[in-house]
Structure 1
């Protein structure tokens, strides 16, 4: 009998999960977060000019989730959610200014790395994994959650003669003709080549180099270990060595598809549009920089891809190669002009969806033994908050039943099975519920008190989410709305008060925090 790749993976994973329960040897874990990464990677096909050979090759021995959503469409709340295991509506962490340590729920529960440390894992990390916050005693990087943490600056210095900057109103280092609106009102679009052209001198390279010291054996690394590595690109500013811009010649880069009237069918009760074009979109559009912006984002992704390659190559050369779970994921998506905006912080698909790629030793072994060369996808919606309970499952740790997420380990063993799952995203001003076919959105006032508008899109027939069907009389649409809206949360914890303001201080570990949290499970 000839088996398909999915069947081979299914058999191998079921056997592996059974063996974990009876084995003292637990798998190691490497969790890699890639900041602001949307679907512009080769396996997901979000942009025709994406060049991510490392990710593409890795995905051939992994499960790729095509409908993974972020818990929140901005860095701090999303990371707080998947690292704590609790959604924003329960922690009260809705924006980047809020430190998750100030949430009563987080104060009573161990975070993902802390939980693994309590259960015998050595934990180490570098880069942006937790969101950072300024405190009177110095920067809080989330270093308190790890046994070993290496701090390092996030972005690289640009060549000032070639910088494009919406706030300074410069293109390639020069001031263009004045705009009809003040460029300083933009959130900030920045890109350009770095002053130092060497990739080996970039900040992301220094982070993977630090991690590789442990994988290579140059630094002692006890097993089992939980390693978290934060790759900062393609977060803005898109300052990358010129070689990565050269990978994407401007004349060959396609500008993202944009519908100029895309916001006109999202109305308040009084008939007014809920949304308007973002200033950054107006700035880019005014100067015709759509392809330049797309090129810069693609270049930043290509740099992140090479950084991943340095880390994954060392893993394959190490003694840990065949007993390590690897998770590669974004923290949320990113707009490149779609819905007349750039950046994130929306509930549309561009910001909500983000890559999630999982490889277990069983999946890797099954693919190696088969002759298959393709990528295995799972289309069931999942949430990044599900990573915490899934890793608990895969590593055979004691269950933590109060987590918001659900383990998707069963999807890894049978990725083609339709689970009927939905995935929820919560922002400071609304919620999103995504199923395989439908995407439902509630736009609310700040504090979630007032429902301003609703949206629903048929993703199967409207992949760009251009036609809001909320007022449709079609029985199929009305049934979908009635079913999916039940999953939208309507009770929200009060936003956590920002308590720890202060000037930047020394990069020091805070052992006091570790002692206070040492008892948490």
Structure 2
């Protein structure tokens, strides 16, 4: 047995003991209240959504419906994904298992949870096994057929051979993602068009509008059932391309959009910390990455897409209330990871900087709350055990959950909590503590940022002799996991 493997198991055992103690303190509050009426779950995951929301103090964005949910519910100010890429992040949070480079699980967007951890029940499968009807609409797992047995019905997407009204993916990619005739002139042979589009079309013309319609249809049906439901809804925007109906672009004056102030390289940045090449795979982006015009158009597009998805979420929440289910439903809204919006001329998420790892996480429970947010560090791997506890379900027997239920924080946001959150990308492993974010790579490269003195991560201080003890401390924290 390797030292790293032993350390990881020891750490997880200790974490399990701590989790059991906290769970015992909160069982009376959450589980026993669920004896008579089991709570539904409405799980909404938004692709590439960072904390670019009004409720997270980003005043330029127009997100009234998510803001309303945050005001009614509970917001985690410092939630961190475990790996900043769609497939791996979703596989990790939906199974409650951390990514692990040593064992080759949850490493990229190609990740299939059912292949990497075949014996582990997803959170949806666990709810299904406990008498819930489970529904998947849109992008939940990265691959539509990943862990398909988790759902009561086949997972549904707009481009879906199992959906009688579904589209062939190749035809959909060419004809339905870009709806403006001007955009179609720039679609390459590989099927990639411009990085943004503002077609004058209704909400349901784009994929996410169809996903919202399907989710609302399911809400109407599920509300008539005697069974509780776990309804998952996954939106594709604001993932590239930034395509949204024109009316959402019209909410913003692009000339008034504030650009990132730190559009320059990080001082002492290691070569392993790179920009994502994703945006350059779309047309009309080559040679633009550092130009102000590109930054303004890209921000405009991202903002419009967030407002578009926010409006769709509002429709779903309104339907939940209209069906009389809002008082008995746990609602969760999250992004699958963060995203860079021009900081250091980065666009994307494939690194371990704060903008790539820090993600929105908002939950509304039927319980009356005295406070509505916490600054405690939480991780996406905590979501699975938290939903179990909030719904009054036991933990799965198929595998050990590696997260810690944050349900107690909802009742007492000031509880002493985790000292660290852990993330990975490539061969880099990162740990976020109260003040610092530290990354180290297998080749010895390091990054350290002081989020009090340098909240925008402009200077890597890992090589500063004055920070030697800080680097050693964070290295030791990483050894607890890896």
Same fold flag (TM > 0.5): yes
Do structure 1's residue 326 and structure 2's residue 331 form an aligned pair?
A: yes
Equivalent residue, structure 2, for 1:266? 269
Taking a change above 3 Å as real, the CA distance of residues 83 and 339 of structure 1, as seen in their structure-2 partners, is same
Asked if the contact 2:50/2:359 (under 8 Å) is kept, the reply is yes
Do structure 1's residue 86 and structure 2's residue 100 form an aligned pair?
A: no
Paired residue secondary structure (2:334):
strand
Deviation at residue 483 of structure 1 after TM alignment = 2.7
Deviation at residue 61 of structure 1 after TM alignment = 1.3
Do structure 1's residue 423 and structure 2's residue 444 form an aligned pair?
A: no
Do structure 1's residue 201 and structure 2's residue 211 form an aligned pair?
A: no
Taking a change above 3 Å as real, the CA distance of residues 356 and 308 of structure 1, as seen in their structure-2 partners, is same
Between 349-358 and 284-293, the greater mean CA deviation after superposition: 284-293
Asked if the contact 1:424/1:431 (under 8 Å) is kept, the reply is yes
Do structure 1's residue 464 and structure 2's residue 456 form an aligned pair?
A: yes
Taking a change above 3 Å as real, the CA distance of residues 62 and 14 of structure 1, as seen in their structure-2 partners, is farther
Gaps of at least 5 residues in structure 2 are: 1-25, 160-171
| TM-score, structure 1 as length reference | 0.76
Deviation at residue 437 of structure 1 after TM alignment = 1.2
Paired residue secondary structure (1:410):
helix
Asked if the contact 1:36/1:331 (under 8 Å) is kept, the reply is yes
Q: How does 1:149-168 map to 2 (within 5 A)?
A: 149-153=155-159, 156-162=177-183
Paired residue secondary structure (2:260):
coil
Taking a change above 3 Å as real, the CA distance of residues 451 and 325 of structure 1, as seen in their structure-2 partners, is same
Between 282-291 and 241-250, the greater mean CA deviation after superposition: 282-291
| C-alpha separation in 2, matches of 1:461 and 1:483 | 19
Equivalent residue, structure 2, for 1:215? 219
| C-alpha separation in 2, matches of 1:224 and 1:383 | 27
| C-alpha separation in 1, matches of 2:275 and 2:128 | 46
**CA deviation profile, 1:371-416 (whole Å, cap 9, x unmatched):** xxxx722111111111001111111212247111111111111113
Paired residue secondary structure (1:94):
coil
Deviation at residue 156 of structure 1 after TM alignment = 3.3
RMSD, aligned α-carbons: 2.8
| C-alpha separation in 2, matches of 1:16 and 1:491 | 31
How many residue pairs match? The answer is: 429
Do structure 1's residue 384 and structure 2's residue 380 form an aligned pair?
A: yes
Q: How does 1:342-421 map to 2 (within 5 A)?
A: 342-362=347-367, 365-366=368-369, 376-400=372-396, 402-421=400-419
| C-alpha separation in 2, matches of 1:224 and 1:75 | 28
Taking a change above 3 Å as real, the CA distance of residues 322 and 435 of structure 1, as seen in their structure-2 partners, is same
Equivalent residue, structure 1, for 2:475? 485
Taking a change above 3 Å as real, the CA distance of residues 293 and 350 of structure 1, as seen in their structure-2 partners, is same
Deviation at residue 218 of structure 1 after TM alignment = 8.0
Q: How does 1:281-296 map to 2 (within 5 A)?
A: 283-286=288-291, 288-296=293-301
Between 251-260 and 145-154, the greater mean CA deviation after superposition: 145-154
Deviation at residue 91 of structure 1 after TM alignment = 5.9
Asked if the contact 2:219/2:319 (under 8 Å) is kept, the reply is yes
**CA deviation profile, 1:461-508 (whole Å, cap 9, x unmatched):** 21101121212233xx4443333322325887xxxxxxxxxxxxxxxx
Do structure 1's residue 249 and structure 2's residue 243 form an aligned pair?
A: no
Q: How does 1:224-243 map to 2 (within 5 A)?
A: 224-243=228-247
